[in-house]
């Protein structure tokens, strides 16, 4: 098993050349679509979003500011509240070695609706997480300043997730300054609960999402509401050379009260299982979960869980979307086998399936009517045997498998970060789940699954600066369907579809977008969900059959005159990445491979024009869907030889423009007869190199013919990258190895020089520094960062589920993590004072290579 996993993960390195995934049909550049932006100067990190659909407000949590925006037009700011860190706190935070300008600020991390009038908000507050109540009427904080430990991370860089359920906050984050103590907790006055601090419960988790799934109101078995958490953590069950990450789903029950003696104030219903997202026949394992969306819709029998995943060793940039139905998840938790740790050959533990007797009531089960009937009305009176069992066995042996046993979508050369899913009824009544998936390059993919696999309708560049999308929200209210995306630099609001961008019926239908339909009478492509009523004659076909379209043939053509030996540029642009441009000259397909022609992305160049080149040129777009080919004439150009002969010098301008493109720079070539070809070529070159198409048209056409290989149409840059990775991978690895080796040597000598390393090094150092009187060590920022890289996060003793031990004396000259400008090295008194300060700083120095945990 372990070997299999290992092979599979390393298999990724070999699978480099494999091409994957459908190509987005349309790519919208940032300037091509109308998006609404919100951002304020001096404010950054817009990473927390909350939508209040009934009030049409979008709340935005940024760095030290909370905004309330009009969700119909986010450029319209309604309120803003500054929530700053006090000078005093900032200084104290800086003293602990954190950056005063960045880390020691207040990053808003929790933004949850408490009730009609209040939001519950938490911020990192210079490594002293604080929560408060935000009054929505006055837009002011209540000034409660509750301790946010366990609800909000200390460190803005650390993962977090939270969900508000019946005025109680459930959150997954870390509980201490170093971020080494993970926790899933409920913040409640009646019964606050948390996870055990033990490796089998949570092992260096990276939280991504949490949500509640309500029990069926009509059912008679009194099932409880359940809160699900999604995270990636370090595996305990597989052996691996390094840290093997595993994506998990964990759940707790809302009515959990904790145990009476065992598991007092701890979850008695915490169970977790592995989420599987793999392509077994390709040996691809997607084991890092990046985000989750739970699709709950009245038209769905049960909620569907969508997750976006990437592999751990992602050298080619693969991403996948897997979908799970809730019944599969519930089956695993309510009927699955448990895992248990067994000690083999002294101290070495191994996780194996537990085949022994399982106590009743079933450990980790929610209290329902059945349990109530056997007098277990609350988790407080569960028997110790059950509680002890769940305390030791929180991990299920069975895994949650995706619907269809494989990913819904696999795509290469992107890293998906966030996902939301909308359910749309198409014109013919079929329901489509439209997935909106954001990337780490600021783009958004919109995809549906149809008969012949996934179809990516479009790719939209939401952020012009290609930064990662950190939050994605969907408002699916009637007439107000929008997407909201948050990033470090701002928030963007986008419509769910750009139907009006399609100007012909064929274009509108070939988009295969369930939101869009063609209105023949008005000759326009419209968003069906925005229309008040739907008429019978509208045209939509998600299968991509555009044969019922009757677009008028483009009659107008552009006339150009040219001179002997000059060059012509005939413009023709077409948006679909799935279509092919075909040029026809006098109704015959032009052989663009000939050196006389050069096919650019948006134009055709014809060199060395002569009499035989005059005539009608047509630019066609041909798109094939399910063996049906649809072609449209995009542009018509007529070339004519110029009659006047006696002009000797003068620029020949042969530039053709299609409508609406008149601002495109025109091509001009100075040409005199005779030397013409020479001059014009050199003049043209800059234009051609900038827009050259590297892929010849011929092979692409043939590959488009077979439906299964649509992904061969990946735009130009991709094949080049593939080649690069294929041939240069070994070189790259060697280079990286060398680089890190040199880095290691530098670090070693630096630390030796500074005297952080004991033993022989000191001798070496004293030899080196002989004669030089060393002044007292100066703790600069730079030095601090060097030291921080030596501290393994999460390395504080996890061993027996106890609170972390205070730092022990490492025997080194200084204790770097607590170092600050004032403390003299080797002054234990001053050092102890720092440690006594409010944060529970746990100092432990670990060298990168000393980490043996999990191996
Ligand atoms: C909302 O919650 C706050 C804080 O718990 C409470 O003071 C207030 O009365 C609640 N308001 C309503 C309308 O329930
Ligand atoms: C905040 O945004 C800046 C860029 O504006 C980025 O460099 C930094 O990493 C962000 N910090 C966090 C905690 O996201
Ligand atoms: C629950 O029962 C009510 C009335 O009996 C019914 O209208 C509703 O559709 C049921 N809901 C579900 C989810 O079955
Ligand atoms: C849930 O998924 C499993 C596995 O693909 C499938 O067997 C089962 O029928 C699905 N259940 C529902 C209700 O769709
Ligand atoms: C609607 O159109 C899709 C795509 O052509 C087809 O698969 C589906 O069967 C149609 N649904 C109905 C109800 O006709
Ligand atoms: C241009 O075309 C003429 C014939 O039309 C030919 O003789 C000449 O060699 C061509 N020049 C170049 C540079 O191809």
Tens of pLDDT, residue by residue over 156-189, are: 999 999 999 999 999 999 999 999 999 999 998 8
Residues with CB under 6 A from ligand 4: 301-302, 325, 327-328, 403-404
Q: 285 with 266, same domain? A: yes
Task: Answer yes or no: is 526 within a domain.
Answer: no
**What three-state secondary structure class fits 435?**
strand
Spatial separation of the C-alpha atoms in residues 619 and 296, rounded to whole Å: 46
- Secondary element (H or E) of residue 719: helix 717-754
Q: Name the residue with the closest Cα to ligand 1, atom 14.
A: 115
**Number of other CB atoms surrounding residue 158 within 10 Å:** 18
Which ligand gives the minimal distance to the CA of 610? Answer: 6
* 3-state SS class at 82: strand
Whether residues 396 and 453 share a domain: the answer is yes
| pLDDT reported for residue 250 | 97
Question: Do 719 and 735 belong to one domain?
Answer: yes
Give residue 188 CA to ligand 1 midpoint distance, Å. 14
Give the C-alpha separation, 274 to 657, whole Å. Answer: 57
* Radius of gyration of the chain measured on its C-alpha atoms: 32
Token couple for 302: 């049960």
| Residue 218: per-residue pLDDT | 80
Q: Which domain holds residue 318?
A: 2-45+156-472
Per-residue pLDDT tens over the stretch 379-419: 998 999 999 999 999 999 999 999 999 999 999 889 999 99
Task: Give the pLDDT mean for 2-29.
Answer: 61
What is the best residue among 42, 44, 46, 108 to mutate for testing ligand 2's pocket, by most ligand atoms within 8 Å of CB? 44
Query: What is the pLDDT, as a whole number, of residue 711?
Result: 31
Per cent of the chain over pLDDT 90 is: 51
Q: Pick the residue whose CA is nearest to atom 5 on ligand 5.
A: 543
Q: Give the model's pLDDT for residue 210.
A: 97
**Which token pair is 91?**
């200084």
d(CA 691, CA 699): 20
- Report CA(608)–ligand 6 centroid distance (Å): 6
**845 falls within a domain:** no
| Angstrom distance (rounded) from CA 663 to CA 573 | 14
CB atoms within 10 A of CB 480: 13
Dihedral, CA atoms, 80, 83, 87, 92, nearest 10 degrees?
-150
| pLDDT given at position 401 | 96
92, 123, 155 - which closes a domain: 155
Q: How far is CA 643 from its chain centroid?
A: 60
Q: 117 CA distance to ligand 1 centroid (A)?
A: 7
Mean residue pLDDT across the chain: 78
Tell me: do 747 and 826 sit in the same domain: no
Give residue 731's pLDDT.
60
- Beta carbons within 10 angstroms of residue 692's beta carbon: 12
Residue 13 confidence (pLDDT): 42
Give pLDDT, residue 746: 63
In this predicted structure, the answer to whether residue 836 has a pLDDT above a threshold of 60 is no
Residue 553 belongs to a domain: no
Which of 430, 448, 472 terminates a domain? The answer is: 472
Any ligand 1 atom below 6 A from CB of 115: yes
377/448 same-domain check:
yes
pLDDT in tens, 571-610: 888 889 999 899 998 888 888 888 889 888 888 999 988 8
pLDDT, tens digit, for every residue of 211-241?
A: 999 998 887 788 899 999 999 999 988 877 7
Predicted confidence at residue 561, as pLDDT, reads 86
Residues 577 and 609 in one domain: yes
Q: Which residue has the tokens 């509750």?
A: 146
14/740: higher pLDDT: 740
Task: HSE, CB side, 13 Å, CA atoms: give it for residue 468.
Answer: 12
pLDDT at residue 648, rounded to an integer: 44
pLDDT at residue number 759? 54
Residue 766 is predicted with a pLDDT of: 54
User: Does 230 fall in a domain?
Assistant: yes
Angle at 214 between CA 213 and CA 216, to 5 degrees: 125
| pLDDT of 762 | 52
Here the CATH number for the domain that contains residue 621 is 2.60.40.10
CA–CA gap between residue 167 and residue 147 (Å, rounded): 17
Give the highest mean pLDDT range of 143-157, 554-568, 633-647.
Answer: 143-157
Identify whether 213 is part of a domain. Answer: yes
322 and 192 within one domain:
yes
User: How far, in Å, CA of 57 to CA of 72, rounded?
Assistant: 8
SS3 378: coil
Same-domain status, 184 and 292: yes
Q: In testing the pocket of ligand 6, which one of 562, 563, 564, 565 has its CB within 8 Å of the most ligand atoms?
A: 565
Look at residue 651 and tell me if it is in a domain: yes
Residue 336 and residue 605: Cα distance in Å, rounded?
66
Substitution site in 669, 671, 676, 677 for ligand 6 pocket (most atoms within 8 Å of beta carbon): 677
| Cα 398 to ligand 4 centre (Å) | 16
Residue 456, pLDDT above cutoff 80: yes
Q: Give 551's contacts (C-beta < 8 A, 6+ positions apart).
A: 504, 505, 506, 632
Q: Average pLDDT, stretch 656-684?
A: 34
pLDDT digits (tens, 9 = 90+) for 718-735: 333 333 334 445 666 676
Which of 26-35, 634-643, 791-800 is the most confident on average? 26-35
Which pLDDT score, from 0 to 100, does residue 644 have? 61
Contact in structure between 600 and 688 (CB atoms under 8 Å) = yes
Looking at the structure, tell me whether residues 222 and 368 fall in a common domain.
Answer: yes
How far, in Å, are 237, 405, 640, 654, 700 from residue 618 at the CA level? Answer: 63, 47, 15, 17, 20
Q: What is the mean pLDDT of residues 49-63?
A: 95
Q: Which residue has the higher pLDDT, 8 or 365?
A: 365
DSSP letter, residue 122:
E
Residues 148 and 283 grouped into a single domain: no
Lowest mean pLDDT among 107-116, 554-563, 570-579, 800-809: 800-809
The pLDDT of residue 729 is: 53
User: Who lines ligand 6 at CB under 6 A?
Assistant: 608, 610, 677
Burial of 764 (0-12, 13-18, 19+ CB in 10 A): middle
Q: How far is it, in rounded angstroms, from Cα 554 to Cα 621? A: 13
Q: Quick one: CA dihedral 541, 544, 550, 551, positive or negative?
A: positive
Average confidence (pLDDT) over 792-815 = 38
Nearest to 825 by CA among 782, 779, 788: 779
Q: Which of 171-175, 389-393, 486-490, 528-532 has the lowest mean pLDDT?
A: 528-532
Q: Place 280 in a pLDDT band, splitting at 50, 70 and 90.
A: confident
Task: Return the pLDDT at 402.
Answer: 96
Indicate which CATH number applies to the domain containing 437: 2.130.10.10
Same domain, yes or no: 62 and 186: no
Cβ atoms 520, 646 nearer than 8 A: no
Among the ranges 66-70, 549-553, 591-595, which has the highest mean pLDDT value? Answer: 66-70
611 Cα nearest atom in ligand 6? 5
What total number of domains does the chain contain? 5
171 sits in which H/E element: strand 168-174
| Ligand that comes closest to the CA of residue 109 | 2
> For residue 760, what pLDDT band results from cuts at 50, 70 and 90?
low
| 127/256 same-domain check | no
**More confident site: 342 or 515:** 515
Residue nearest to atom 11 of ligand 5 (CA): 430
Ligand closest to 63 (CA) is 2
- In this structure, are residues 159 and 206 in contact, taking their beta carbons and an 8 Å threshold? yes
The C-alpha torsion from 295 through 299 and 303 to 305, rounded to 10°, is -40
Residue 819 vs residues 319, 756, 823, 840: alpha-carbon distances, Å: 41, 13, 7, 15
In a domain, 129, yes or no: yes
Residue 832 lies in a domain: yes
Q: How confident is the model at residue 32 (pLDDT cuts 50, 70, 90)?
A: very high
> Over 70: is that where the pLDDT of 256 sits?
yes
**465 or 712, which is more confident?**
465
Percent over 70 (pLDDT), the chain: 73
Run of H or E residues at 581? strand 579-585
Q: What is the pLDDT of residue 146?
A: 93
**Which residue did the predictor score with more confidence, 452 or 225?**
225
CA distances from 536 to 248, 521, 523, 675 (A): 47, 12, 15, 63
563 alpha carbon – ligand 6 mean position (Å): 13
Q: What are the structure tokens assigned to 434, written together?
A: 């439209």
Q: b or e along 358-394 (b: 16 or more beta carbons within 10 Å of the residue's beta carbon)?
A: ebebbbbbbbbeebeeeebebbbebbeebbbbbbbbb
Q: For residue 274, what are the β-bridge partners?
A: 248
Q: Which residue's CA is minimally distant from atom 5 of ligand 4?
A: 403
Mutate-to-test residue for ligand 1 from 112, 113, 114, 115, highest number of ligand atoms within 8 A of CB: 115
Last residue of one domain, picked from the residues 472, 490, 520: 472
């Amino acid at each position: 098993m372990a070997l299999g996993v290992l092979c599979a993960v390393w298999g990724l390195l070999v699978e480099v050349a494999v091409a994957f995934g459908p190509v987005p049909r349309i790519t919208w550049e940032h300037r091509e679509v109308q998006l609404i932006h919100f951002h304020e100067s001096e404010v950054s990190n817009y990473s927390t979003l909350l939508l209040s659909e009934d009030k049409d407000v979008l709340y935005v949590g940024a760095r030290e500011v909370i905004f309330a925006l009009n969700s119909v037009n986010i450029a319209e700011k309604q309120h803003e509240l500054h929530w700053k860190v006090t000078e005093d706190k900032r200084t104290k935070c800086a003293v602990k070695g954190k950056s005063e300008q960045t880390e020691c600020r207040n990053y808003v991390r929790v933004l949850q609706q408490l009730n009609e009038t209040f939001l519950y908000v938490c911020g990192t507050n210079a490594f002293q997480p604080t929560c408060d109540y935000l009054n929505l009427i006055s837009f002011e904080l209540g000034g409660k300043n509750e301790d946010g430990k366990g609800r909000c991370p200390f460190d803005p860089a650390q993962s977090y997730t939270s969900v508000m359920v019946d005025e109680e906050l459930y959150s997954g984050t870390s509980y201490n300054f170093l971020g080494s103590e993970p926790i899933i907790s409920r913040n409640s006055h009646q019964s606050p609960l948390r996870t055990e601090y033990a490796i089998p419960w949570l092992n260096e988790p990276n939280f991504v999402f949490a949500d509640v799934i309500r029990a069926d109101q009509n059912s008679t078995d009194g099932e409880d509401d359940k809160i699900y958490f999604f995270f990636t953590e370090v595996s305990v069950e597989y052996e691996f050379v390094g840290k093997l990450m595993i994506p998990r789903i964990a759940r707790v029950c809302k009515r959990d009260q904790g145990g009476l003696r065992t598991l007092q104030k701890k979850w008695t219903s915490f169970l977790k299982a592995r989420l599987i997202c793999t392509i077994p026949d390709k040996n691809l394992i997607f084991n890092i979960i990046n985000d989750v969306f739970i699709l709950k819709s009245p038209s769905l029998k049960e909620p569907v869980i969508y997750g976006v995943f990437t592999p751990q060793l992602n050298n080619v940039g693969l991403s996948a979307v897997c979908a799970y139905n809730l019944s599969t998840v519930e089956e695993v938790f309510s009927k699955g086998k448990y895992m248990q740790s067994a000690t083999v050959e002294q101290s070495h533990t191994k996780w194996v399936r537990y085949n022994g007797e399982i106590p009743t009531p079933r450990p980790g089960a929610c209290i329902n009517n059945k349990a109530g009937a056997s007098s277990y009305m609350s988790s407080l009176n569960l028997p110790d045997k059950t509680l002890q069992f769940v305390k030791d066995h929180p991990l299920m042996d069975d895994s949650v498998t995706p619907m269809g046993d494989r990913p819904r979508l696999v795509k290469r050369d992107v890293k998906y970060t966030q996902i939301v899913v909308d359910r749309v009824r198409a014109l013919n009544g079929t329901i489509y789940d439209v997935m909106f998936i954001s990337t780490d390059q600021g783009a958004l993919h919109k995809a549906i699954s149809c008969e012949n696999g996934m179809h990516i309708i479009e790719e939209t560049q939401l952020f012009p600066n290609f930064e990662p999308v950190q939050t994605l929200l969907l408002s699916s209210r009637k007439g107000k369907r929008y997407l909201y995306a948050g990033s470090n630099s701002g928030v963007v609001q986008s419509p769910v579809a750009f139907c009006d961008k399609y100007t012909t019926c064929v274009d509108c239908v070939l988009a295969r977008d369930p939101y869009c339909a063609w209105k023949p009478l008005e000759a326009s492509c419209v968003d069906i969900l925005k229309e008040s009523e739907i008429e019978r004659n509208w045209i939509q076909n998600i299968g991509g059959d555009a044969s019922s379209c009757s677009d008028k043939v483009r009659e107008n053509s552009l006339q150009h005159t040219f001179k002997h030996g000059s060059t012509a540029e005939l413009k023709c642009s077409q948006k679909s990445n799935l279509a092919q441009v075909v040029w026809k000259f006098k109704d015959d397909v032009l052989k663009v491979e000939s050196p006389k022609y050069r096919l650019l992305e948006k134009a055709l160049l014809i060199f060395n024009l002569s009499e035989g080149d005059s005539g009608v040129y047509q630019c066609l777009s041909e798109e094939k869907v399910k063996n049906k080919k649809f072609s449209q004439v995009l542009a018509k150009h007529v070339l004519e030889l110029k009659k006047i002969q006696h002009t000797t010098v003068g620029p020949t301008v042969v530039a053709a423009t299609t409508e609406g493109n008149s601002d495109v720079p025109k091509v001009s070539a100075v040409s005199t007869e005779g030397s013409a070809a020479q001059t014009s070529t050199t003049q043209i070159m800059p234009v051609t190199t900038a827009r050259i198409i590297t892929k010849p048209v011929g092979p692409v056409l043939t590959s488009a013919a077979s439906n299964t290989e649509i992904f061969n149409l990946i735009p130009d840059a991709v094949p080049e990258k593939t080649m690069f990775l294929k041939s240069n991978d070994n070189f790259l690895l060697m280079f990286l190895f060398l680089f890190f080796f040199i880095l290691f040597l530098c670090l070693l000598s630096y630390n030796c020089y500074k005297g952080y390393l004991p033993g022989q090094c000191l001798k070496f150092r004293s030899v080196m520094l002989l004669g030089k009187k060393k002044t007292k060590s100066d703790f600069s920022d730079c030095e601090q960062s060097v030291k921080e890289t030596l501290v393994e996060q999460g390395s504080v003793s996890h061993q027996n589920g106890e609170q972390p031990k205070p730092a022990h004396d490492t025997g080194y000259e200084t204790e770097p993590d607590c170092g600050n400008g004032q403390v003299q090295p080797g002054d234990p008194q001053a050092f102890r004072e720092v440690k006594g300060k409010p944060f529970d700083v746990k100092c432990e120095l670990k060298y990168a290579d000393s980490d043996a945990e999990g191996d």
